[in-house]
Amino acid sequence: MFNKNVNPTMKENENREQAILRAAEREFLARGYDGTKTTAIAEAAGVTHALLHYYFRTKEKLYERVFDDIVSRLETSLVEAFSANGLPFMTRLEEGLRRHFLYLLDHPDLPRFLINEFTAHPERAAALRLRFGVMLGRVLASLQADMEAQAAEGTIARMNLTDLLYDAVALNAFSFLSYPLAGMLLAPGTDARAYHLARLEENLTVIRKRLQPDPPCENASSSCSPDWLP
Partner DNA sequence: ATTATCTATAGATCTATAGATAATGC
Which residues would be at the binding site for its own copies (CB under 8 A)?
Answer: 31-32, 34-35, 90, 112, 114-116, 118-120, 122, 125, 128-129, 132-133, 136, 155, 162-163, 166-167, 169-171, 173-175, 177-178, 180-182, 184-186, 199, 202-203, 205-206, 208-210, 212-215, 221-223, 227-228
Q: Could you say whether residue 121 binds DNA (CB under 7 A)?
A: no
Q: Which of 40, 39, 38, 47 is CA-nearest to residue 19?
A: 47
What are the angstrom distances between the C-alpha of 165 and each of 31, 72, 84, 90, 110? 29, 20, 17, 13, 18
CA distance 42 to 30: 15
Q: Which of 4, 16, 14 is CA-nearest to residue 41?
A: 16
Q: Which is nearer to DNA, 48 or 76 (CB)?
A: 48
Q: Which is nearer to DNA, 4 or 193 (CB)?
A: 4
Q: Could you say whether residue 11 binds DNA (CB under 7 A)?
A: no
Question: Segment near DNA (CB under 7 A), from 21-29, 47-55, 130-138, 210-218?
Answer: 47-55
Q: Could you say whether residue 64 binds DNA (CB under 7 A)?
A: no
Tell me the CA end-to-end span of the chain in Å, nearest whole number. 67
Residue 54 has a CB neighbour count (10 Å cut-off) of 13
What are the angstrom distances between the C-alpha of 181 and each of 97, 107, 113, 133, 188? 24, 18, 17, 31, 11
Q: Which is nearer to its own copies, 145 or 224 (CB)?
A: 224
Q: Could you say whether residue 18 binds DNA (CB under 7 A)?
A: no
Q: Which is nearer to its own copies, 152 or 184 (CB)?
A: 184
